[in-house]
């Protein structure tokens, strides 16, 4: 992350980077990502509820009926942005 701070990119994909972390370190990671998201758009693939809570949008796939997948998206703070 230190190198990424020095040489930022317009976007970054992180796949399950929070999986080995405990709750305290997940909190540190999400604060760091929120801070760095002013310059970079992060796509984080995760199963951690705590990491999902920090997101501004969630995208997922659900299968309510066997064999039928649906894409689901939720944007947070949309009401604040519209006001």
Handedness of CA 50, 35, 12, 78 (dihedral sign): positive
pLDDT at 12 over 70: yes
Indicate the average pLDDT of the chain: 87
| H/E element, 6 | helix 2-6
Residue 15 pLDDT > 80, yes or no? yes
Question: Structure pTM?
Answer: 0.75
| Type and span of the H or E element at 10 | none
pLDDT (mean) for 44-66: 90
By residue count, the chain amounts to 83
């Amino acid at each position: 992350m230190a190198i990424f701070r020095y040489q930022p990119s317009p976007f970054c994909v992180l796949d399950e980077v929070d999986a080995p972390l405990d709750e305290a370190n997940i909190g540190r990671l999400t604060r760091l990502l929120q801070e760095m998201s002013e310059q970079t758009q992060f796509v984080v693939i995760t199963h951690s509820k705590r990491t999902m809570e920090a997101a501004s949008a969630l995208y997922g796939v659900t299968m309510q009926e066997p064999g039928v997948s649906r894409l689901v998206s939720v944007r947070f703070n949309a009401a604040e942005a519209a006001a």
